[in-house]
Structure 1
């Protein structure tokens, strides 16, 4: 968690007066540790199903490695971590713990779908959902479309082309 003092030190390095007013409303709310204001701003940057208000808040802003991302330079942050901290008014030090998506969607920043977990717990849950296997399968399919003779695909069982499929009626 970046503290208000760290933000202050970064933004006052130039020594210019009025540094706080030049910041955007999200950055100002984070510095003030105003959790409800931060959550409202973050929520406004998400797609939310109006019929399922308890559902995922899907981040539509900047993304990095499949996760929502805010800020730039030394003050950049993962959006779901900021949402988790804001829901607790920035009172918890997360340290090395990860903020785990209970819903399994990387772009979700709904604080009710987030929980603290160790890296091991987070990885074990991911394998439990078999997200890793689904991702590998999708990448293999994409590679197969681009280069069917790629050496990495030779170790894999090749699916039958549609015209070679024999229906039960023909047997």
Structure 2
């Protein structure tokens, strides 16, 4: 999904549990399983597709967010620069969710409480899937211990040009 992969958003590379081995244990490690190698944990990716089967745009922004969250807990080497770069990605993904799923009337207009609740519902959905056990929550907390100041990324807010998606 790094850089935006249309085939991931459209479900062409969805992880498929083996019928022989049964449902995998997604929680054996902090990193979990990523059988399609897109940087997003399989169980989180499958949950997003299950919850939003008819909206490629919603899946795109939530997959971007899930990827940023996964990077928080899978980095083998942490320092302030790495953490700040990942936090920038997390911030971009959060803004992408907000601007795509709950657009403002104008770039300068503020959001209503109802708008913020809608945005929070989407991020909480992914957060709860991503940080679903103590080990992952602890890894996230450890990650943020290295955070310094960061600035907004000069990259586009969303990894994928959402206007090219069917819905």
TM range (shorter): under 0.3
Q: State TM-score, norm by structure 2.
A: 0.26
Higher strand share: 1
